[in-house]
Structure 1
Amino acid sequence: MDSSTFFSQMALDLHDEPTAERTIERIAEYARIATSCDDAGIMLVHARNQIETAAATSQRVGESHNLQIIHDQGPCLDAIEGEAVYISSDVASDDRWTKWGPAVAELGIRSALSIRLETRSRHYGSLNLYADRLGAFDDDDIAVGTIFVRHAAVAIANAHNEAGLQVAIDARKLIGQAQGILMERFDLDAERSFEFLRRQSQEHNVKLRYVAEWVVEHRCAPNATFKVPEIASDRSKVGKV
């Protein structure tokens, strides 16, 4: 199969995947095939010490990611915070990662290539390719890997946007239900019922949707006194919705 056919087929397969998670898994699989490496994985970084192995073609990929957290060094992490691409022809003797390199070499990994996974507005993680042989990666592999991180970034960004949109939709529905309850019980119009919810949100320093949720949950107890749920109190520090 020539390269144009390969990438055309890949694009069709990725489009047909039902979830972002499965799309990312297929990206790792395709990246391994396209670069003829032995293993591939996608690391998502939420904080320097909080990572998620979103895709891995073998167990040692996850172990490699974990070793970077243990030693607080490695190309996958550096690709998030430093240069966009890190390549190592011999991880065991690479003086950039003197702890991670020898440790991951014990897993049979000799070469590594990490490419930043990002959109124009956000860094998500990295695509990481591993090989059992020395000097396995070159500029062609970087070019091919760059194609895959673009596909992965789009899949992740779409998943985040869809999740955020669903949260917003659910919140609006909940607020609408709470308004309906208040309008019926206290003979309020839509504007005054919303103002009541907003005032409770401000006075108790919680998100508006938590006030609405409380109203809906206590609709059969008209004499109940509003009490901030513990989880709502904790999350209110993040900001209003």
Structure 2
Amino acid sequence: MSQRLADLAREMQSQADAPAVLDLIVASVAGTVPGAEEATISLVQARRRVVSAVATGNLARLFDDLQQQTRQGPCMDAMYEHETVRVDDLATDQRWPDLGRRAAELGLRSMLCFQLFVHGDDLGALNVLSRHPRAFTDESERIGLLYASHTAVALAQAQKINSLELGMASRDVIGQAKGVLMERYKITEDQAFAVLAKASQDTNRKLIEVAANLTQTGVLTSEGRH
């Protein structure tokens, strides 16, 4: 496991930008932390607003939405209290009764949360999720803490923390553009991304520029060529 963590750390540090690092972080959790099924990196902006900087799926994003709505939760405690928070069963845990009940209704039962960084008024946490109660063990917590330490170092060394909000905004625009293409052509999300990528290559423009143009004008730059 130590070798896998070292390999992942090197791969994270080799990524070109913050979104790529974030994607790798959450995508690698399930194969690294025992019991993990999903993951998200929560970002608290100005110590008030909770958002998902990146997530493996809708369940993880919905949990961050719940934290924002209830202003409570294990991830927020991990960020504010500088500690690892482990939840064996959200359905019965009394620390966050409102959030726990609503999270259990979504199908989320156990969690591990690790503080990643504090940067001014912005805080970040790595959250590891499972649909099963008592999914995480002491070994899960130990490995998760090591993994979180590696990811925090990778983010800090890349000096990309300040670009997280920008990266999230870019991700939102690209997501909107994919939605336009999916509706227009009745294609999948992956196919829509491929269309955007091809338009970017054909026009020698950045992907975010192509996506922004599509969302603003409804026109894909290279549509006339298809």
Which TM bucket (shorter chain)? Answer: 0.5 to 0.7
In the TM superposition, residue 33 of structure 1 has moved relative to its aligned partner by: 1.6
1:159 to 2:157 alignment: no
Q: Which sections of structure 1, spanning at least 5 residues, go unmatched?
A: 164-241
Specify the code of the residue in structure 2 equivalent to 1:8: A
Change (3 A) 1:38 1:154: same
Aligned partner of 2:192 in structure 1 is none
The answer to whether the Cα contact below 8 Å between 2:79 and 2:125 also exists between their aligned partners in 1 is: yes
Aligned partner of 2:91 in structure 1 is 92
In the TM superposition, residue 132 of structure 1 has moved relative to its aligned partner by: 1.2
Aligned partner of 1:134 in structure 2 is 133
The answer to whether the Cα contact below 8 Å between 2:87 and 2:93 also exists between their aligned partners in 1 is: yes
Specify the code of the residue in structure 2 equivalent to 1:44: L
1:109 aligned counterpart, secondary structure: coil
The answer to whether the Cα contact below 8 Å between 2:21 and 2:155 also exists between their aligned partners in 1 is: no
Aligned residues: 161
The answer to whether the Cα contact below 8 Å between 2:114 and 2:125 also exists between their aligned partners in 1 is: yes
Inter-partner Cα distance in structure 1 for 2:18 and 2:36: 23
Inter-partner Cα distance in structure 2 for 1:122 and 1:81: 11
Aligned partner of 1:23 in structure 2 is 21
Among 12, 31, 35, the alignment partner of 1:33 is 31
Inter-partner Cα distance in structure 2 for 1:48 and 1:121: 9
- Decide which moves more: 86-95 or 31-40: 31-40
The answer to whether the Cα contact below 8 Å between 1:25 and 1:54 also exists between their aligned partners in 2 is: no
The answer to whether the Cα contact below 8 Å between 1:80 and 1:123 also exists between their aligned partners in 2 is: no
The answer to whether the Cα contact below 8 Å between 1:116 and 1:123 also exists between their aligned partners in 2 is: no
Structure 1 length-normalised TM:
0.60
Change (3 A) 1:94 1:83: farther
Aligned partner of 1:60 in structure 2 is 59
Runs of 4+ in 1 over 6 A off after TM superposition: 119-123
Q: How does 1:107-146 map to 2 (within 5 A)?
A: 107-118=106-117, 124-146=123-145
The answer to whether the Cα contact below 8 Å between 1:44 and 1:51 also exists between their aligned partners in 2 is: yes
Change (3 A) 1:48 1:99: farther
Q: Rg larger in 1 or in 2?
A: 1
2:97 aligned counterpart, secondary structure: coil
- CA-atom RMSD in angstroms: 2.4
1:105 aligned counterpart, secondary structure: helix
Inter-partner Cα distance in structure 2 for 1:91 and 1:162: 33
Aligned partner of 2:45 in structure 1 is 46
Inter-partner Cα distance in structure 2 for 1:159 and 1:83: 21
Specify the code of the residue in structure 2 equivalent to 1:129: V
Change (3 A) 1:72 1:122: closer
In the TM superposition, residue 118 of structure 1 has moved relative to its aligned partner by: 2.3
Inter-partner Cα distance in structure 1 for 2:100 and 2:163: 38
Inter-partner Cα distance in structure 2 for 1:31 and 1:103: 24
Structure 2 length-normalised TM:
0.64
Q: Which sections of structure 2, spanning at least 5 residues, go unmatched?
A: 165-226
Aligned partner of 2:68 in structure 1 is 69
Inter-partner Cα distance in structure 2 for 1:5 and 1:86: 25
Inter-partner Cα distance in structure 2 for 1:92 and 1:162: 36
Specify the code of the residue in structure 2 equivalent to 1:38: E
Change (3 A) 1:135 1:154: same
